[in-house]
Amino acid sequence: MSKRIEVNDLNVYYTNFLAVEGVSIVIEPRTVTAFIGPSGCGKSTFIRTLNRMHEVIPGARVEGEVLIDGNNLYGPGVDPVLVRRQVGMVFQRPNPFPTMSIQDNVLAGVKLNNRRMSKTDADDLTEKALRGANLWNEVKDRLARPGSGLSGGQQQRLCIARAIAVEPDVILMDEPCSALDPISTLAIEDLIEEMKQEYTIVIVTHNMQQASRVSDRTAFFNIAGTGKPGKLIEYDDTTTIFSNPSVQATEDYVSGRFG
């Protein structure tokens, strides 16, 4: 199920502006990797290159390679749609489809791709995904109601259920808890802990405690100043990053002396 991600010397551009420079990183399967760093340092830009979502923004392009189990995402003839079926993504703000019911939201990855599915299979997949996202007990009696009627935390877990229903190998999370209250945040952190058994998870977060609670490895990104490209400063075990980092900037950031 889960796969190994290897990034070699990746540069990301917006038209001619170099946003992220020279990132090389290896993410092992069945781990949680946290990206931390000040705003605007390119964490979100970088995480979006891991499933080619940055291409949605006009003018965005990359140099370098991203290998998922040895397959280069940026090789010639690679279909971004196939990439995204293997590398799912959860966004900063919960974004359930407003025209669909809760169940249809969970099955969106199947239904939107025009794949047919029997009623029992659909119900089984819905239950499995919603149980996986820790939401089943809260919504099992109202699967036919619109997804936009749920609370913010429930909507975010619905989005996670939607992402795992297509059974990806890797799940990217771009600040999944930044719009949520502490209790919903805790629910999602527990969920990440469980999902680690099956998926490779990459999470961007501004919350240092969250990074130290959920992640096995942590990558610290930084920029030298406005207009300069973001760089990967340090990448190590989470305990090392938070207790004994090798770079001064990392220590300043995690201890709250700047940023």
Residues that bind other proteins (CB under 8 A): 51, 53, 56, 58, 81-86, 88-89, 91, 93, 95-99, 108-109, 111-114, 142, 145-146, 148-149, 159, 162-163, 166
Element (DSSP H or E) covering residue 44: helix 43-49
Give the nearer residue to other proteins in terms of CB position, either 174 or 234: 174
Question: Is the Cα torsion angle 198, 214, 162, 65 positive or negative in sign?
Answer: negative
Residues paired with residue 20 on neighbouring β-strands, in sequence order = 12, 230
Distance in angstroms (rounded) separating the CA atoms of residues 49 and 189 = 24
Q: How far is the CB of 93 from other proteins (least distance, A)?
A: 6
Give the nearer residue to other proteins in terms of CB position, either 106 or 192: 106
Q: How far is the CB of 149 from other proteins (least distance, A)?
A: 4
Give the nearer residue to other proteins in terms of CB position, either 22 or 146: 146
Structure tokens at 158: 């619905």
What is the 3 state secondary structure string of 179-201?
Answer: CCCHHHHHHHHHHHHHHCCCCEE
Q: How far is the CB of 125 from other proteins (least distance, A)?
A: 13
Q: Residue 46: how many CB atoms within 10 A of its CB? A: 27
Give the nearer residue to other proteins in terms of CB position, either 92 or 240: 92
Q: How far is the CB of 249 from other proteins (least distance, A)?
A: 31
